[in-house]
């Protein structure tokens, strides 16, 4: 399973890369706005830093506008993936870009039927938002299960990119269901490492060794 960081914070991306746990990045206008940075230069900076896929989102909602902005995003770096909204024009753009060999990430997916449409449009990734469904009292991970099943039934190449991840449990469940990618906030990536028994065990090991009075070379 691949881990993408969902962020526009360069320091977080650098830390995740140092850990060897970041395969790509997803970002959007909201995340970049929070950093107080210009849009296209920030996407370019991230793409130059990350060796894997970097999703940069169009701001237009009409086909012609999406295609124009997609071309500008694609010109930033070879690893930029065009993030498109799940609208009729967005799916039309996904098909056009797929025909040009340009990778796409269709975002804001909330139903299995939407995911089916995205796959038929040739999307490289589909981004179902599990956390936002949970917020509505629905089971976001059930949607992941449905999409994985449908894609497996018909052999679609579109990868399930689990988005709006709120906790390590979302990551575990996504992995168990066979999703190819989870895009996660940095704080969730940190939480994946943590367990109180790990901390307790390490503290005990170090205390036991210190009690011997020996050094690493003894």
Active-site amino acid positions: 83
Structure tokens at 47: 């793409």
Distance CA 59, CA 3 (A): 25
Distance CA 16, CA 28 (A): 18
Structure tokens at 175: 């992995």
Other Cβ atoms less than 10 A from the Cβ of 203: the count is 10
The beta strand positions in the chain, using DSSP E, are: 2-6, 24-26, 54-57, 80-85, 104-109, 125-128, 159-162, 181-184
Burial 119-131 (b: 16+ CB within 10 A, else e): bebbbbbbbbbbe
């Amino acid at each position: 399973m691949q881990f993408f960081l969902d962020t526009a914070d360069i320091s977080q991306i650098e830390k995740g890369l140092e850990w060897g746990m970041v395969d790509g990045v997803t970002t959007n206008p909201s995340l970049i706005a929070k950093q107080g940075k210009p849009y296209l230069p920030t996407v370019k900076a991230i793409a130059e830093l990350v060796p894997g896929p970097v999703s940069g989102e169009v701001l237009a909602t009409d086909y012609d506008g999406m295609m124009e902005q997609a071309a500008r995003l694609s010109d930033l770096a070879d690893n930029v993936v065009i993030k498109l909204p799940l609208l009729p024009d967005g799916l039309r753009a996904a098909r056009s870009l797929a025909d040009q060999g340009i990778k796409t990430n269709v975002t804001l997916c909330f139903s299995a039927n939407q995911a089916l449409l995205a796959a038929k449009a040739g999307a490289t990734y589909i981004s179902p938002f599990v956390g936002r469904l949970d917020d509505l009292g629905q089971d976001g991970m059930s949607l992941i299960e449905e999409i994985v099943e449908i894609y497996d039934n018909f052999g679609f190449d579109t990868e399930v990119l689990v988005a709006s991840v709120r906790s390590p449990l979302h990551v575990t469940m996504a992995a168990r269901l066979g999703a190819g990618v989870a895009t996660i906030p940095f704080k969730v990536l940190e939480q994946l490492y943590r367990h109180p028994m790990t901390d307790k065990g390490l503290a005990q090991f170090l205390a036991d060794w210190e009690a011997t009075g020996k050094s690493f070379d003894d």
